[in-house]
Amino acid sequence: MKLTNPEKLILIMLSEIYKKLDIQGGVDPKFVESAIFSDNTWGFEWKYSGIFPSASEPTPPEVTEVLNYLDMWEFIELAYSHLDEEGKKELASKIDSPFGKNFKFKGFDGNNEAEYIGITRFLVNDLDRFTHFKGREGLNSHMPVLGMYRRMYQVFEPLRRTLIDAPLSVDQLAAILKSAAYRSEGR
């Protein structure tokens, strides 16, 4: 949902009144403020689908991209957590991963991927999506990761359709995690 600057100001002022009067209604003024201040106003249609029964605007492509990466990482972490020690050793023998032995979603770079880190925090903390990642400090990878996630997702996406009631196998995990490593032309 695109809002003009005057509309944003009006909504912020109404949210402040809402909080000051301690109105307990169906709209969360903290959420309204967070969506406006973080420029994630697309979230209104997600949070309040009863007010906005049909999406008036498509989901921004950056949001879809973040959703894809969160989905992928949830599968990676779940599969890794189900591996026994032998499975973890087998995986380690198959990859030279930039993650070391910590196969956890670390977020996006706060300096170079600010829009993506903002969307991630908003999805996880304000919209309560992908609560698996809630409570992780800042979701800031402190290094650019978009290229790496894009390479990983190219491997994961065809597998995603086959993952019904089963975690990723060691070989599938290895293929996804191997793709994270940067490959220059000719390598």
Nearest to 100 by CA among 167, 180, 22: 180
pLDDT mean over 65-79: 96
Average pLDDT of span 49-67: 86
| Residue-wise burial string across 121-130, b where 16 or more C-beta atoms lie within 10 A, e elsewhere | bbbbebbebb
Q: What is the pLDDT of residue 39?
A: 93
Grade residue 93 by pLDDT with cuts at 50, 70 and 90: confident
Residue 108: strand pairing partners: 140
Handedness of CA 123, 125, 127, 129 (dihedral sign): positive
Q: List, in sequence order, every residue forming a beta bridge with 140; answer none if it has no partner.
A: 108
Q: How far apart are CA 129 and CA 134, in angstroms?
A: 9
Question: Can you tell me the mean pLDDT for 150-155?
Answer: 96
Residue span(s) of the chain under CATH 1.10.3190.10 come to: 61-178
Residue type, 146: L
Pairwise pLDDT comparison (108 vs 165), residue with the higher score: 108
Pick the CATH number of 61-178 from 3.40.718.10, 3.40.50.720, 1.10.10.10, 1.10.3190.10: 1.10.3190.10
- Confidence category of residue 25, pLDDT binned at 50, 70, 90: confident
Query: Residue 44 has which token pair?
Result: 């209104």
Question: What does pLDDT average to over the chain?
Answer: 90
Residues ≥6 apart with Cβ < 8 Å to 72: 149, 152, 153, 156, 160, 176
pLDDT band of residue 183 (cuts 50, 70, 90) is: low
**pLDDT value for 49:** 84
Secondary structure, 3-state, the chain: CCCCHHHHHHHHHHHHHHHHCCCCCCCCHHHHHHHHHCCCCCHHHHHCCCCCCCCCCCCCHHHHHHHHHHHHHHHHHHHHHHCCHHHHHHHHHHCCCCCCCCCCCCCECCCCCHHHHHHHHHHHHHCCCCHHHCCCCCCECCCCCHHHHHHHHHHHHHHHCCCCCCCCCHHHHHHHHHCCCCCCCCC
pLDDT at 185 over 80: no
Q: Give per-residue pLDDT as tens, 99-148.
A: 667 789 999 999 999 999 999 999 999 999 999 999 888 899 999 999 99
Find all residues with CB under 8 Å of 187, minimum gap 6, and list them.
Answer: none
